[in-house]
Every structure is written in C-alpha cells, then in structure tokens.
Amino acid sequence: MISIMQSIIATPAGQIDQLVDIVAPTWAQFILWMPLISLVLCGLCAALKVKTKAPAIITVISLATSFVLTLMLYFGYEGAEVIHIFEWIHVHWNGGSFISDFALYIDKLTLLWMLFVTGLGTLIAVYASEYMEHDVGKGYARFFAGVSVFLFAMSCLVMGDNLLMLYLGWEGVGFASYWLIGYFYQRPAAVAAAKKAFIVNRIGDLGLALAIYLIWSTFGTIQYDGISTALAAHNNDAATFSAFGGWTVHAIPYLLMLAAFGKSAQLPLYVWLPDAMEGPTPVSALIHAATMVTAGVYLIARTYPLFQLDDYALPIVAWVGGLTALFAATIGMAQYDIKRIMAYSTVSQLGYMFLGLGVLSSYGAAYHVFTHAFFKAVLFLTCGAIMHGFAGQLDLRKLSGLRKMRGWKIVSYTMLVGCLCLAGFPFTSGYFSKDAILAEAFVTQGSGFEILGWLAIFTAGLTAYYTFRVWFRVCCGPEYYEPGDELHGDDPSSFHPHPPRVAINFVLIAIASGAIIAALPYFMDNETKGINGGWVAEMVHDSPARGGVPNAVVAVVDGEHATAHEGVANAVVDQDHATHGSILGMDPHKAMYYISGVVGMIGLGFAFFFHLARRKAADSLRNKLLASRFTRWLPIAMENKWYVDEFYIAVIRTPLWILGKLFALIDRGIIDGLLVNGIAGTPRAIAKWFSPLHNGAVQSYAVSMIGGAALVILLMMFMPEIMSFLQSTMIGATP
Amino acid sequence: MMLASFGAATLASYLVVSGILLVIGVVGFLVRRNLIVMFLCTELMFQGAAIAFVAAGRYYLDYSGQVMVIFILTVAAAEAALALALVVFMHRQRDTLDPDAYGELAE
Amino acid sequence: MDPVLPYLACLVLALALYAAIRPSAITFRIGAIVATVAAAGWLLGIIAGYLSSLEGDAATPFFIIFSLAVIAAAVRMISHERPIYCALHFILVVIASAGLLLLLEAEFMAFALIIVYAGAILITYMFVLMLANQAPDPNEPETMEYYDKIPREPAAAVGVGFLLLCIVTGTVLHGTSDLPPRPNNTVAWHTLEQLPKQFEASILELDETFAWPPQKTEQGNAIQFDQDVAYVLSAENVRLDLDVSMAPTNTQSVGWSLVNDFPVSLELAGVILLMAMLGAAVLARKAIEIGDREKRNVLSTNEEKAS
Amino acid sequence: MTPWLLLLIPLIGAAAIFLTKAELSKWISLGVSLFVFVISILMSVQFEQWGSMGTGLRSETSWINSMGLTLDLGADSVAMMLVLLTTLLTPLCVWGSFNAITSRRKEYYAWLLILETAMLGVFLAQDLILFYVSFELTLVPMFFLIAIYGGKNRAHASVKFFIYTFAGSLFMLAGFVYVAWQNAQTGAGGWSFAIHDLAIYASTKLSATEQGWILLALLAGFAVKIPVFPVHTWLPLAHTEAPTAGSVILAGVLLKLGTFGVYRFVLPMVPEAVVAWAPSIAILGIIGILYAALICWVQDDVKKLVAYSSVSHLGFCVLGLVALNPIGLEGAVLYMINHGLSTGALFFLIGMMYERYHTRDMNMIGGLAKRMPVWSVFMVFFVLASVGLPGLNGFVSEFMCLLGTFVSSTDAQQWPGVLGPQYAAVAAIGMVLAAMYLLIMVGKVVFGTLKEPDTTDRGSLPVDLSLREIGVLAPLAALCIWIGVQPTVLTDAMRGSVEKVLSPYPKRVKEHVEQQHSESIMLKVPESETPDKEDHHA
C-alpha cells in the first residue's frame, strides 16, 4: 500500500515521460485491492467471531465496487495500457534482468473477462449471503473470505501484465478453489475433492511454470508487451519464427496447453471438476462454471500468437476440446445428480471453447465463455436453490414437478432459461455463441476440422438432451419430492421444502436476464471495419487473440503497439483464411443457424419423450441396454464416468504410492541400514577383530605399543618413497 | 677442556649398544611374570635410552642429552616409588606378584 | 638394498637370547648368554665395518669391555629366575653403563647414575622384593614362585625383540651417514660468561695482575672468540688469551643447561617427584579391608594355576 | 558496533543462566536472545554493504600468528541475512519452548544460547579455522538438545547426528587444510587461513584435478549438512527425535550452514571443479527432490514428513546453487531464508500439536480444524508457503531456482551454465509432489472428521493456541508474506555478493565447453595422427 501512496504522491513531480502514468487510471488497481480488503475484514470477522451477516455485506460491497470500477474502466477505455503498481520480482544482474512487476495490463480482452468476473462475483455473493445463512457465525466469514481470495486471484490472473502475475492468479484461484471446495472440511469427500482439485491443477501449473521459463529464455521477457514486440520484430525480418531458435518456440504452446487443460478441466486433466461439486453451490457456480475454469481459455487467447507459431498446436487444442466436449456429454447423459450433470456439462462446454480456440475462432470461444458464464451460473444457482430447499436433495429421480410448487416458480423458469441457452435453442445466447464456434470449424481448413465440426454438432444434440432431461425431470411432471440427507434435525416425514427468498430469487432473475441479454452483443454494430460478430468480436479484436476474429482486417497500423499484434495476426490469418471452407456446399456461417437449431430440437425432443411424456421408457431403454451382452458396457461405463478416475488411480497414483513405499524401505533399509550404518559399523567390526589384543595382560599391550612404534619408525624411514608415490597417483600435475 | 674427537661411527656403535639394551629390556618385559622384575626391565630400557641420549649429545656437543638423562632419572625414581608402592599395596591384597592375577583391574 | 649380514647377526642374537631365557639347565643358559654377548659383539663389529668409511671408531678396549659387560649383565638379569639376583644384575648393568658414560666424557651422569640407580632405586626394589617374597631356598626349587620360573611366550617376545632390533640396526645403518653436520669442536665459552664468579677466579688464577672488571669488547661480550681462541680485555685494555683448561667442565655445563635451557622442565620434574612421594605415601598407608574368604579364593585359584 | 557483541552476549547470557535460579532461566535467555536480535537489527540498519560486494561489520583480531590464524569477523550481505534469520529464530525458539521444557531448564536455555553463538560464528567467520570451529561447535549444543530433551530414540538419533555430520566435516577440514598448505608453500605470506585470500588462491592457482578433490572433500562436509540425497538419512531421525526448538533450529539454520558453505567456499574456491561436477550435483539434487517427496507421501509421522520435505526442498536450493547464474543463485540464497521461515514454522506447529496430543501419528489425529481453528489457519498458511503458492515466500525462491536451472545452458550468452531445461523440467515435478504430500497431510490432520488420540493431555495449555504461541508464529507468517510480496528488497541486497561469487564462472564455463568440444574432436584426431608418427620414426 505504501508504494501506491508513493506513486500517487510522486506523480505530480514526475517527468514528462511519466505523463502516461498520470493519464493511466491508477485507481484501476482498486479492482484488485477491494477483494483483498474484503478478505482482511472477513478474516477480522472470523477472528472476532462475528455472528451476523457482516462478512457477506462487506464482500458484496467490495465486489460491487470492483465491478463499478471495471465498468468505469471500460467506459473510459482508450487503448491498451499498463498500470504499474509495485515491483514484485525484479532481479537485475550484470547483463540482464528478470522483471515481473505487480502491474496491470488493460485491453478489451481483459475488460471482457473482468466484467463478467466481477459482475457475476457480486451477484453470486449476494446469492450466497442467503444460501450460506445456516453457517452464520460458524463458517460464514471463512466462506466469504474464500470468495474474496478468489476474486483477488482471478483479477490478478486476468489483469496482470505479465505471465508471472497470471501465474500468481492461476495458483491463487487454485488455492481459492481448494479453500472453497473444502469448505465443509469435516466431510471426507469434500476434503478429498479439494485436494484432488489442487493437485491436478498443480500438474497444469507445472506446465505453466515451464512455459514461463521457456518464454523468458526465448524472448527475454515475460511481459505481454515485450513478447508482442519481440514477435513483431522477428516477423518484420522474415515470415518465419525460426529465429527464436529451434525447439523452444515450438514447445511453448504445448506447455501452455497443459496449463490450460488443467485449469479448464479438459482431457486428460478434467477429473477434478466433477468432484469439485462437493463445495457449496455458489462456489460451483462462480468458480467451477462461470469464471475460474475459463482461465484456460483466457490463457490461450492471451498467448494466441504463440500458439500460431507451431503448426500443430491449435489443431491439438481443437481436437482435445472437441473430444472433451463429446466425452463429458456422454457422461453427463447418464448421471443422476443434477449438480454433477451440470459439472460434466461445464466440462463439455469448456471443450467447445477450446474447440473454438483451436479452429481459429478465439472470438467464438470468448463469446461462448461470456454466454456460458451467465447461463451456467444460473443453472448452478437454481440447482443450489433446489438443494438448499430440499435439504441437499440432488437426485433427479427423487424430485419432480417443481414448477407447480409454491414458491418455486422463479427457480423453475430461470432454470428453463438456462437450459434453453445451454441446449442452444434458437435465438438464445448459447445458440449464437455455439454457432460461432461450430461454423468456424467448417470454415477453417485444418487437420480433420470438418470431422470435429460434425462431432461437435452431434454433441450439441447430446447437450440438448441431457439439459432438458434435468429440466423435464425436475420441473415438470407430477409433484413429488424426497428430502436429502442434510435435514438439520428435521423429521423426514414432516419435511417441507423451503423455497428461496428475496436474495436468491433476485439473483436468479438478474442472471437469467443476463443470459437472455447476452444474445444482444451478437447484433451490436462493430466500430472496427470489416469484422463480424458484434461487441464480443470487437473486444477480442483489441487483443493478441485477434487472429481468431473472423474477417479481421489487420492492415490498419496505428502506432507501434498495434503493429505488434497486427503483424502476427496478419501472417496467420492470411495464410489460414486464404481458402474458405464450406459445409454441405453452403456458407457455414449461415448453414449453421439451421443445422444446430434442428439438432438442438432433436435432442430436446428425445428428452421430452423419455423424461416427460413417457418417463418409464427411459428406464426400460436402460434395462434393455443392460440386458444385452453387447450393449451392457455402454450405460455402465457412462454411469461410472468411463472409469477414468479408477484408471488414473491404477496407472498413476498407485504405482507412485508403491514407489514411495519402496523408497521409504530403501531409505531405511539400504541407504540408512546398509550403507550408513554399515560404514559406521565398520570400525566396530575392525575393532572386534583386534579386541583379542586387549586381553588385560600388560605384556600384550606392550607388544601392540612396540608394534605401533615399529610401524611409525618404518613409516618414517620410507616416508619419501610413500610421498612420491602418493603425489604421482593422486595429484596429477602440481603447478 | 677440549674434547676428543667423536665421529659418526663411534656414535653408531653406542647407539647399537643402547638399542641392544632396549631390546633386551623389551624382551625381559614381555617374558617375565614378576611385576617387580617387569619394572626392572623398564629400568633397563631407560638405561638404553640414557646411553643413546648421552651419546647423541656428545656427538653434537650439546648438553641437552645429559639433561634428558636427568629427567629420565627423575621419572625412573618417581616410577619406582609409585609402582613399588602399588606393588606393595597389591601384594598385600593378593599375595602374588603375577600381573595376570589382577586381570579384573583392566575391566 | 640393505646388506643382509647385520640382520643375520640380529637373528643370531635373538636366537641366543631365546636360548638364554628359556628354562633349562644352568650351564646351557650360561652358554646361551655367552653366545648372546658374542652375537652382540659380532653385530657391533659388522656395523663398525660397514661404517668404517665414516669418521670415528669406538673399538677402544674400554668400550668393548663395558658394552659387552652391559649386555651380558642385562641378559643375565632378564633370564635369572630369582628376582633378587635380577636386581643385583641390574646394578651391574648400571655400573657398566656408567663406564660407557665415562667414555662419553659425561662423568657427572656416570656417577649420578650409580648413586641414584644403584644407590637409591635398586635398593628400594630390593626392599620391596624382600617384603614380597620369602627368600626361597635354592635347593628346593618348588618353593619358588611359579611366575618366576615360567617365562611368558618367550618365542613371541624374542620375535618382537628381533623386529625391534632389526629396525634399530636398520635405522643406524641408514641414518648414520645422513646425520646433520657436527658443530666445530669448540668449547662453550659463553657458559662461562654467565658464571662471573667462576670466571673471576679462573682469570685471576691465570694472571694475577689482570685489572678487574674486564671491559666489554666491541661486540658487547666479556669473552670474545677469535678463531678458536678466546680472550678477555682488562680494564686497561690488555688482551688476555684464555687457557683451554678454563673452559667449563662437563658438570658445570650440564648444570647450566639444566637451569638455563630447561627451567620449566626442572620445576616439573620436582613436582613429579613430589607427587610420586605423596602418592607412594598414600598408597602404602591405605589398607583396604578384604574379607578372608576372598583372600582365600584368590590364593586357591593361584594354587590351581601353579599346579 | 563490533560483531563480537553478537557472539559474546549469548555466551554471557548462558553463563548468567547457570548462576541464577531455574525459574528465571527462560526469561533470561529470552531477554538475551531478543537483545541480540535488536542488536543485529541495528547492525543491519547500519550495514553499508547491502547490494554491494563488500564485507562489512569487520573486526580483526590476531590469534596465533605463527600459523596465520586470526579471529577475523565480518559479514557480506548474504551472511548478514542469515545472521538476521538466526537471531530471529533463536528468541522464537526460546519463547516457543516455555511450556515444552520442564526439567533441566537451565541447561536447555544455556545450550540454546551457546548454539546461537556457534551459528553466528559460522556466518561471521572470516577465517577458515574459525569457521570450522564454529561449524563443529554447533554440533555440541545440538547433540545435547537432542540427547537430553529428545524423544524415545534420542540416544541413537543424537549420536548418529553428531557422528555423521562430524565425519563429513572432517573431510571438509582436510580440504581446507590442503588449500592452506598449498598456499603456505607457494604463496608469499606463509600460512594464512583468511577465507578471502584462500578463495582467490585456490580458484586461480590450483589445478583442475586438485580442485576436484577439494570439491569432493568440501562437499563431504556440506552435502551431509544440507543434506543431499544419499547422505540425508540422519536428518529424519534427528528431526523426529529432537525437541521442537531443536527441530526448528535444525531446519531453520543448521541445514543452511551446508548451503551457506557451498555458497561461501565451494563456489568461489573451486570454480573449475564446480563446472565439471555441477551436472552430477544437480542430478543428486533432483533425485533428492523426487525421492524424498515420494517418501513423504507414505509417512505417517507428521514430523518425519516435514523432515523429508526438507530434503526435498533443499534439492531446489542445491539446483539453484549449481545453476551458476545470478537468478539461480539469488533464488538459492532466498530459498535458505524462506525454508528457514516456513519449515521452522511448520516444526513449531507440529510441536504445538504434540504438546497437546502427545502423538504425531497422522492415523491417530484428524480434523483438528474443528478443535484448533487458529492453529489450523497457521498450519494451512505455512503449508502453502512451503508448497510455493505465489504471493508467499516459498514461491519466489523456488521459481527463481528453477528458472536459473532452466536457463543455465551452455549456449546462454551472459551467464552460461552447465545445466539446462531438462534438469528444471524434471525437478519441477517436485512442485506437484510437494503439493501432493503436504496437502494429504493437511487433509488428514487439519481437515476431515475430528479424531483425538487417547494420549490427549493439554496440561496447562488452552485448547487452541495461546497468545504466546500465536506470538511465536505471527512474525514468521508476516515475514513469509513480506518476502512473497517484496522479494526484490532481498534480491537487490544480495546482488553484489552473488555476482562476486559468480564472477569467475562465465569464463570457466566457456573454457569447459571449448575443452569438451576439443575433446570430442580429439577422439577423431588419433587416427589421423598415427601416420605422422610413423613418418617420424621412419
């Protein structure tokens, strides 16, 4: 804080060069500080054992402040800029330096992310103030402190001006997620899930750390600005990037990919996300659906030019994304826990985003992130409300006809909005954002992108099916419910569901409206000439990821800063968009409107048939599949999540654990027992050998004394010979 | 007083004599079983050493050799006093001069 | 490579020694002792022969007599069965080595040795021996203590002795020719310089007219060397060459060296003697009570051993 | 102010403790160690060598002139930091032991103060022999702390600790004496044991083979102390058996004597050998990281787990040391401090738990967050610091060590090294494993359902931490955050010293690379040379 004060005080006296700093909105750093202040205050509340909702109020106010500041930043935005806060890791030495300041880099991509992060953060904090009320005085402050930590870390991640700041946020959100998943720390499942989330994420972090090392050793800087400049400089020399030396440039995107796959729960590192649903639902909504898991998308968008340096990097991203989408959707179809369904759906939708990134549609990915944030948040929050009202009940077989119950209308219909968006129902926000990705899969020429496109369309059908499976089961049909296992002492027979009150309903409506409105940006006019895709495209265009904005005209050169991005984007875009793909002979952008609409309706129809019209048909289908030897594996494997967790445990965890046990044995037995104690025991063994000499007879001592003296004399007599021998053998050339 | 010539060969003869004395002392020390005679044998070794000291001192015209012999005398006297007192003391207990009889002192 | 002959002599000496200490008939023993002495003489002769190229020669009659006497007495001492005779033979060793010391012109040491060793230490030994042992009747050998009769591991002991002797011989053979150079055969006049009384008496004895006190020379010394001749300057600046007989005697020099060069050691020696005296007094005075039974046990075990 | 104050005041305090009543001893030692801490703070404020390569706080006293021995004291910036670490940890250890030590209190506190003197002596010594004496002197108080106040197996542990480290450092002494001997023979000034002179002499005059032997001798001493992989087995034993304060000092400072020794002696003295051996040392470090991490995973004893984690963590430090570039070396120095803070705190926490439950078995304890929330907050905090969460101290140093290793390749322009990305990549797996074993430990002990063993006996202690215990932990936590946020203050301060240590390396590494290059060419040469020789004979 002192450094902030200093920078504020110091500016008026500064040189002309620092004018930029004066113009730069230094107050933007309070977007970061507000959650931190909230964290400190919540910590104080916990220490003072405050028994009111004060922590929630504090958090909501500070997060709202952050959101307002972000809005101000957005409306005052004039161009990308760096806001320096203080020196963090600033190592200089003779001939070099490693600089990673605590500084913010603001461009429109940042703002896009920050808008929904802080906005949804505020709303979900409001929601949680009611949702968590049974913990007031117990874990309430801890919960909101965790939310504050998350917001702080997420802001660092998104707003940092260098990769190490991003890493700070990256691990920070991982830690916040650990904190909040393990919120119910007395439930072993929650603790295990928290641990799993952190450790699996750490594998991704490992990739990020190595990528940072590589980037620094290749470009000499880890600041986004510096990297762009370096890239641009080499682009001007030659169209190739081989000047950066061999393998390093090609290895960077794969390491970054590893990080992104870890954080955004893609194959093969997605396993932590479904388990993370052990956390309180607002956490699932905020962290594990809307914001944190999209950090991987952000990372790749932020470092998009680096991915374009390698021919296979983006296609691999696309393939991993596409396969994850399909894979998670198949699991989601067969789950009964609605929160888990949502979790797998999140994994699946994240797969879409990666597909978008991979097929050179960073715009589509960003747009899908944006819309997904709203509709997935609302879905999770409605699940949370249901869970809250039915004492932890999440099994869709044990809930039915919610929309007819008293006080559950808002929940039911906001959930419908979320489901429509997720299923890609025509003219909802999800419909447009998903189409942007699907169309691009056909437009962009790449390794099997067309197959991927068809896979994604098929997955869209599955999505519609499992989404409406939830809604038809839970909200339609006859009224029926069973309470869950969190009765808090109530008698199961006298159980009455308690519908949500003002705070939750308000938030549900607000976010559901957001989900609907999120379709609007698609139709907004573009200020920049030539690009399609509305407001989000505009936002993405002003970032390193502009290479993925359709029809981006990148000839405009205004200032040095702009050329940096333009250059790279130019090269790649020209190359890849030279030939425009097609789908069934039509322009993909237009055709996709119809195709995905139809596929979505088919999925919805199946869901309607199996889960509302003839619910028994679903069970009988399942039984039929189980009865046949050839198809039995399908439902079993899908219900057991394809046994991926078991596979990991068998292939990675158990061998390592056995290795650990083995090492512990080696350590005790061989290294310590045999080597160390062996060497230590040698003198004793030798002593035993000589111990008959010490038989108590004076004369034998005399003999050894005389023998020793004789040896010494002999040694002295032959000393010169011994010395010359030693010198010749041990020390080669004595100077 | 001028001293007669005393060459290296002369010194060597004296040293060999002293060496033989020392060896006889050692052998005696090793073979005898009587505590007192063992002490006497150490005195014999002292004699050898004394001759070597004086001869070497004579060779170098240095009196330190003889001074050393004085210290040897001192030590011998002290040793005789103490050791004999011990022997008397032990003999009173065990009525023997065989060092093997006192084996448990070593433990 | 070393010559083998000296070591052969060592071997012979060791074998003879072995014969001398083994329990056997008295005549055989005497013969063995004679052989030992002869071997020692042979060894001395060999070494003298090898070192004949070097300056000096010890083969004076007195040296031969005394050294052989020392060795003979020493061998007899370690081989005699009766401790009293051992002690007596040790006195002989002392007297003979005092003769050697006289040959080395260390007359003070020679007589001090006789006085202290033969006169004091050995007498103590004999007292103790008499205290400890009932004098056995030589005609009844069974009354003698077993431990005086049976030597312990004579072969091993002689082996060790042989090794040691070889090392001594080898060292002498190797080292004698490499000895550091001897100082000039000048007399330590400076010792006299530190003894003004002696100095004055000697000077006045030499020249009664010498004007006392002497004047310091340019180098600041009372006695000044000048090419093997020492002189003093009288108060009237008259030079007086000193006579060789005025040089300090051996005893004076030893005394001077003792108090001048080794004062601390001298003090320590005094302390050691004092401690020894006190220790001996304490030890001899203190009598630990031991039960009769324990005493009997020890005795019985000893008897078992003896039988 | 003379540095002698730092060495003498604890000794005087120790003497004073023996003269007073046992009840007063803890207060005296607390007062004395705090006083030393204040003095060291004042000294560091006046210290003028921050950031430069000079040695400050000098005091020259001759000792044995004929052997060239002196009692010279002094500290460069890195030593000064470690001095501050020591003077900080000692009062905390004293304060943290108030409740744990009930019998033989006088000796205990006196030994702690003597230990402080010895440790400060190591950091302040400017004379090799003085260094060696202090280095070994640390063993004596530690030996008694373990042997008298330790756990069940304390006798074995203390003897093993003593003999193991002592045997190692004898080789080190031999190496030192060899350098001094060569210096006395060939140098002008006769015998000298001044560290500075000997470092210059050894690095410039000794042949590569001699340097290799010296390196091995020095490492035999320092590697045992650090401890590096195959010679680490004394550490878990000593840690598990030592009393809390002993473990804290052991992890906090004594292990740093090894890394400090490498920094102070190995790197400046034998650069050629370091260049030749760095890959092997680094591989040992990496094996240590992974091997110890996997062992941690299967431990049941919390303290043993943290002890093994020290082995694993210091592997990173070793990597930074042999990376031979400023960022790696600064990371390594920072690691010394950070590890002292966070692992020291972890040992404190385990000690506090042990004082209440009298067991350290993870299977018998669980879910303490319910019973001891404050303790749990600190536990999670320091575990995260150990794991290397950005924003806390552990991250910065770990990151810098690994980054240094990563860029330490032979083709680097300014600061070539002999390691490379592959080393860092493998070592970085240790980050994942560290998270794994530490979080598993936290998951078992802090979280989950509450389990309290039968041996629970809190005595006079409150259920959760007392104010005294919070007071012990809070400064460490504050420092962890401060270093995590402002590491630049420290890295700037140590820059001069680090660059001085590294100054001979770029040239040496280039020579080494050229030599290897020419050797690889040489392999082909003999074939072409043989005809020449035949010609010559003909």
B81-93 per-position pLDDT tens digit: 888 888 888 887 7
DSSP state of D324: -
Domain boundaries, given as residue ranges, for chain C: 5-176, 189-246, 268-306
D84 touches chain A (CB under 8 A): no
User: D94 vs D7, D84, D154, D468, D472, CA distance in Å?
Assistant: 17, 16, 20, 11, 10
Cβ-based burial of C112 (10 A; exposed 0-12, middle 13-18, buried ≥19) = buried
For residue B79, is it within any domain? Answer: yes
Q: Are A114 and A155 in contact (CB under 8 A)?
A: yes
Q: Is the pLDDT of residue B51 over 90?
A: yes
Alpha helices in B1-107 (DSSP H): 8-31, 35-60, 64-94
Q: Does D499 touch chain A (CB under 8 A)?
A: yes
pLDDT value at C294 more than 80:
no
- Residue of C106, C165, C245 with shortest CB distance to B23: C165
pLDDT-derived band at A713 (thresholds 50, 70, 90) equals confident
Q: What are phi and psi of D72, to 5 degrees?
A: -70, 135
Q: Are B87 and C128 in contact (CB under 8 A)?
A: yes
Contact A346, A472 (CB under 8 A): no
Tokens of D319: 């990597």
| Nearest-angstrom CA–CA distance, D313 and D290 | 10
Q: Kindly state the tokens that stand for D80.
A: 């000064």
User: How confident is the model over A584-608, as pLDDT tens digits?
Assistant: 666 777 777 888 888 888 888 888 8
Q: Which of A269-278, A371-380, A682-691, D24-33 has the lowest mean pLDDT?
A: A682-691
Residue of A nearest to B28 (CA): A699
Tens digits of residue pLDDT in A40-83: 999 998 888 888 888 899 999 999 999 999 998 888 888 788 88
Q: Where are the alpha helices (DSSP H) in D451-504?
A: 467-485, 487-502
Residue B99 covered by a domain = no
Residue B58 falls inside a structural domain? yes
What is the distance between the alpha carbons of residues D139 and D221, in angstroms, rounded to a whole number? 13
User: ipTM of this predicted complex?
Assistant: 0.69
Determine the Cα angle at D170 with ends D165 and D176, to 5°.
125
Give C156's contacts in chain A (Cβ within 8 Å).
Answer: 703
Chain A contact for D402, CB < 8 A? Answer: yes
Measure CB to CB from residue A697 to each of B26, B99, B107 and give the nearest one. Answer: B99
Surface of D (266-305) touching A: CB under 8 A: 291, 294-299
> Could you tell me what percent of chain B has a pLDDT over 90?
35
CB D379 within 8 A of CB D348: no
Distance from CA of B23 to the nearest CA of A (A): 10
pLDDT of residue D18: 87
Burial of A77 from C-beta contacts in 10 A (0-12 / 13-18 / 19+): middle
Evaluate if residue B24 carries a pLDDT over 90.
yes
Per-residue pLDDT at A107 exceeds 90: no
What residues in B contact C152, CB-CB < 8 Å?
30-33
Q: Which residue does chain C place closest to A715, by CA atoms? A: C167
d(Cα A259, Cα A170) in Å, to the nearest integer? 9
Chain B: list its partners (3+ Cβ pairs within 8 Å).
A, C
A101-110, A522-531, D55-64, D367-376: the lowest-pLDDT one: A522-531
CA distances for D139 relative to A122, A626, D12, D135, angstroms: 57, 70, 20, 8
Q: What is the DSSP letter of C248?
A: P
Per-residue model confidence (pLDDT) at position A136: 81
pLDDT digits (tens, 9 = 90+) for A325-365: 998 998 888 888 888 888 999 999 999 999 988 888 888 88
Tell me the H-state helices in D104-149: 105-124, 128-137, 139-149
Residues of C within 8 A of B61 (CB-CB) are 182-183, 185, 188
Residue pair D369/D446 in contact by the 8 Å Cβ criterion: yes
Sheet containing C223-226: give its strands across: C223-226, C229-233, C239-241
Angle at D320 between CA D314 and CA D324, to 5 degrees: 150
To the nearest whole Å, the CA of A333 is away from the closest chain D CA by: 32
Name the token pair of A192.
């295990």
- Residue A686: exposure state from Cβ atoms within 10 A (0-12, 13-18, ≥19): exposed
List chain D pLDDT tens, one digit each, 538 residues: 788 889 999 999 999 998 888 888 889 999 999 999 999 999 999 888 888 888 888 888 888 777 788 888 989 899 999 999 999 999 999 999 988 888 888 889 999 999 999 999 999 999 888 999 999 999 999 999 999 998 888 888 998 899 888 988 999 999 999 998 888 888 667 788 888 888 888 888 888 888 999 999 999 999 999 889 888 889 988 999 999 999 999 999 999 999 999 999 999 999 989 998 999 999 999 999 999 999 998 888 999 999 999 999 999 999 999 988 888 999 999 999 999 999 999 999 999 999 999 888 888 888 888 889 899 999 999 999 999 898 899 999 999 999 999 888 877 777 888 888 889 999 999 988 999 899 999 988 998 888 888 888 888 888 888 899 999 999 999 999 999 999 988 988 998 888 888 888 888 888 888 888 887 776 655 544 444 444 454 4
What spatial distance separates the first Cα and last Cα of chain C, rounded to whole Å? 51
**Whole-model pTM above 0.80?**
no
| Residue B4 maps to a domain | no
Chain C residues close to A714, C-beta within 8 Å: 167
Q: Which of residues 664-703 of A touch C (CB under 8 A)?
A: 699, 703
Taking an 8 Å cut-off on Cβ atoms, the answer to whether C167 and A710 are in contact is yes
Q: Quick one: pLDDT at residue A536? A: 80
- Tally of CA atoms within 13 A in the half-sphere of A294 that contains its CB: 35
Which residue in chain B has the smallest CA separation from C95? B47
Residues of D in contact with A186 (CB under 8 A): 367, 370, 447-450
Cβ neighbours for A535, distance < 8 A, ≥ 6 positions apart: A521, A522, A524
pLDDT of residue C49: 84
Rounded Cα gap, residues D320 and D396, in angstroms: 12
Q: Do B99 and A702 touch (CB under 8 A)?
A: no
Q: For residue A125, what are the contacts with CB-CB under 8 A and spacing of at least 6? A: A56, A59, A60, A63, A144, A147, A282
Kindly identify which residue of chain B lies nearest to residue A707, measuring between CA atoms. Answer: B26
Bigger pLDDT: D486 or A484?
A: D486
**Nearest-by-Cβ selection for A699 from C152, C167, C174:** C152
Does residue B104 form part of some domain?
Answer: no
Comparing alpha-carbon positions, the chain A residue that sits nearest to C164 is: A710
What kind and span of H or E run contains A93? strand A81-93
* Domain count across chain B: 1
Separation between Cα atoms, residue A374 and residue A365, nearest integer Å = 14
Asked whether residue B2 is assigned to any structural domain, the reply reads: no
Pairing of strands D62-64, C229-233: unpaired
Residue D351 is predicted with a pLDDT of 92
Fold of the C5-176 domain: Four Helix Bundle (Hemerythrin (Met), subunit A) (1.20.120)
Please list every residue in chain A whose beta carbon sits closer than 8 Å to the beta carbon of residue B106: 694, 696
Distances (CA, A) of D232 to A497, C236, D268, D307: 61, 86, 25, 10
The shortest CB-CB distance from C109 to any of B26, B54, B84 is to: B54
Q: C191: which 2 tokens?
A: 């010792």
Span D61-72, pLDDT tens digits: 888 777 788 888
C265: helix, coil or strand? helix
Q: What percent of chain A has pLDDT over 70?
A: 85
For residue B60, the domain's CATH number is 1.10.287.3510
Question: What pLDDT sits at residue D538?
Answer: 41
Instruction: Return d(Cα D209, Cα D298) in angstroms, integer.
Output: 42
Higher-confidence position of C276 and A529: C276
Nearest residue of D to residue A183, measured between CA atoms = D447
Domain that holds residue B38: 9-94
Interface partners of chain A (CB pairs < 8 Å, 3 or more) are B, C, D
User: Could you tell me how far CA A406 lies from the centroid of its own chain?
Assistant: 38
- How would residue A543 be classed by pLDDT, with cut points 50, 70 and 90? confident
